[in-house]
């Protein structure tokens, strides 16, 4: 099994931590949640195809915006935040 590789902009990571209280290091954990749900994010896919994933970290249920890099099979993290009520309901209905 190939290990998942991640990348992100460190300035964006710091902004995300201040704004949402979630580091991208924590956000990576959602990709290891067996029950995570991934779906397209066409409203934010300008110049690149973006996706959202709802899944658990060790601390909370999160929504992470990301894209897939063709080179080296890398996932680029764009933003992360705690899941809203409707997103939690969607996740738990599974």
What are the beta bridge partners of residue 65?
52, 79
Residue 3 has a pLDDT of 79
- Domain residue limits, the chain: 5-93
Residue 69 has a pLDDT of 86
Fold of 5-93: Nuclear Transport Factor 2; Chain: A, (3.10.450)
Residue 44 has a pLDDT of 62
Q: For the chain, which ranges sit under pLDDT 70?
A: 1-2, 42, 44-46, 72, 94
Residue 48 has a pLDDT of 78
């Amino acid at each position: 099994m190939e290990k998942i590789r991640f990348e992100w902009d460190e300035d964006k990571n710091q902004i995300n931590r201040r704004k949402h209280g979630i580091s991208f290091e924590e956000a990576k954990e959602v990709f290891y949640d067996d029950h995570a749900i991934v779906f397209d994010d066409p409203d934010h896919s300008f110049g690149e195809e973006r996706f959202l994933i709802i899944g658990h970290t060790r601390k909370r249920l999160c929504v992470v915006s990301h894209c897939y890099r063709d080179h080296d099979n890398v996932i680029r993290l764009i933003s992360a935040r705690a899941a809203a009520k409707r997103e939690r309901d969607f996740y738990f209905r599974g």
